[in-house]
Amino acid sequence: MPRFNSAMDTAARFGEIPFVEFTQELITGIFDSLVEAHILQMEEYAEFVQTLTQDLSSYINNTNDGVSFEEITDFVLKYELPQIPEAQLEAALDALQPPAAGAAPTTTGAPATTDTWWGGLINALAPAVDSLVDKIEDPSDHTDLQAMQAYNDAVLAGNAATMPNYNEITSSIAKLISSNKYSLLQNLAQQGMMRLVVTDGEIETKLTFSTWQEDENTFQRKTRSKAREATKTKLRRGSLGAYKKARKRIKTRNVTVNTAKSYHRDTSGTKVDIFGRVMIRFKTDYSPLNG
């Protein structure tokens, strides 16, 4: 009975268990997290669109210095250019880096022609350079691009031409790369905003309340008995004068030993478990731009 009363006392204190607060915080935390994630997506997209509100010239000026030499090298190697030994190719690509930026490439004694490696490179870039000049409104950004144009036009016309220096070539390639990035961003923006959307979800909270009691008694008793017999021996004269031993039973005693083993076990307890489970399904989609 005392154990039962203890369990009932615990059950009577059920209102002290913070189950409601636990559930409330779980739901509120999930909701706040989803809203925060949505706001973050919108802010990132707004920053992305803000980047595209500037004109191409401003974008190139803001990102031109961020184009790495590795990007320039990869860009150049995608064109089909006159074949030269690997050592000369590495020297030509390395020359695009400072401190040789102010010098002009050499054609190793060959006349100005598109058959040389540098002439082939400038000729391969010519269509993109011409298109980029038309897209950039600021004339101050045309200098290096126009140097590339002038050289290619003179070579194609068979006239003497001045080879652009490394700085003009590197700057023109960097602007082409920035222009390609700008076009890619515009295409992404036209597709719309990629977002992470919650399709459905489930929030579950549970409270497990249990009490238990155990009572176990064990009693074991054992009895052992043992008989003990006492005898007495004395000498007795025989007919021929010899002595004989005579044994006489005196007394018999019984010894009884009683042993007992007792074991008692008594346990009781109460357990309360509060746990939550959250399952949310997501999908990605594009929110199309209107206008």
Q: What is the percentage of the chain residues whose pLDDT exceeds 90?
A: 2
The per-residue pLDDT for 66 is: 80
The per-residue pLDDT for 291 is: 45
Rounded to 5 degrees, what angle do the CA atoms 52, 57, 59 make?
40
192: phi > 0 → left, psi -120 to 50 → alpha, else beta; which?
Answer: left
The per-residue pLDDT for 37 is: 86
User: pLDDT-based confidence at 14, cuts 50/70/90?
Assistant: low
DSSP helix/strand/coil, 82? coil
Nearest one of 224, 125, 223, 230 to 168, comparing CA atoms = 125
- Domain parsing of the chain, residue ranges: 2-38+197-287, 56-191
Packing angle, helices 166-191 and 69-77, rounded to 10: 90
The CA distances from residue 212 to 14, 19, 216, in Å, are 16, 22, 14
DSSP tag of 85: -
Are 217 and 263 in contact by the 8 Å Cβ rule? The answer is yes
Residue 1 pLDDT > 60, yes or no?
no
Residue length of the chain: 291
User: pLDDT-based confidence at 186, cuts 50/70/90?
Assistant: confident
pLDDT for 56-114, tens place per residue? 788 887 787 788 888 988 998 888 888 888 888 888 888 888 766 778 887 654 556 67
What average pLDDT does this structure show over 132-139? 82
**Comparing 55-59, 185-189, 193-197, 212-216, which segment has the lowest mean pLDDT?**
212-216
